[in-house]
């Protein structure tokens, strides 16, 4: 029985540390032209919420676009799912509803893949899953 409790407590600690691995700042930049007149900047910050939960803040700004929102992050192994909760400021370009799954980030070796869901990039050329968000730094 003691071994089972020790094994169970070890898996909880692993889960907490796995969650903390997602904490940090991420960015994604897309541009429709070489002069960067039509460009969009995605700034994502993941923080620790209450308990073992993770929360995020996302701002998307650029050509005819301004959105600021908060949500929760659910992790499962090497994937983190970003779910919309509420707008936190300006929203000039999105129509999201609480509970919408916006995108999933997946770690594959040294690569961070983005799998778009309800939130889509502006440029159609970026609509498929791929390497978009980059880690700016950890917290």
pLDDT in tens, the chain (139 residues): 444 343 344 444 434 456 789 999 999 999 999 888 899 999 999 999 988 899 999 999 999 999 999 999 999 999 999 999 999 988 887 789 999 999 999 999 999 999 999 999 999 999 999 999 999 865 4
Give the whole-angstrom CA distance, residue 80 versus residue 138: 16
The dihedral over CA atoms of 107, 108, 113, 118, expressed in degrees to the nearest 10, equals -60
pLDDT of residue 83: 98
Q: 5 has which bridge partners? A: none
pLDDT of residue 17: 55
pLDDT of residue 35: 86
Q: Is the pTM of this model over 0.85?
A: no
Give the whole-angstrom CA distance, residue 114 versus residue 104: 6
């Amino acid at each position: 029985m003691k071994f089972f409790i020790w094994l169970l407590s070890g898996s909880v600690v692993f889960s907490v540390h796995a969650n903390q691995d997602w904490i940090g700042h991420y960015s994604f930049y897309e541009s429709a032209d070489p002069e960067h007149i039509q460009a969009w900047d995605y700034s994502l910050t993941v923080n620790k919420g209450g308990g073992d939960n993770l929360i995020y803040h996302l701002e998307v700004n650029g050509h005819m676009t301004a959105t600021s929102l908060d949500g929760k992050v659910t992790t499962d192994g090497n994937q983190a799912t970003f779910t919309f909760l509420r707008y936190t400021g300006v929203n000039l370009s999105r129509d999201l509803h609480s509970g919408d799954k916006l995108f999933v980030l997946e770690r594959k070796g040294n690569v961070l893949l983005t799998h778009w869901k309800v939130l889509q990039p502006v440029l159609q050329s970026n609509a498929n899953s791929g390497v978009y968000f980059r880690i700016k730094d950890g917290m």
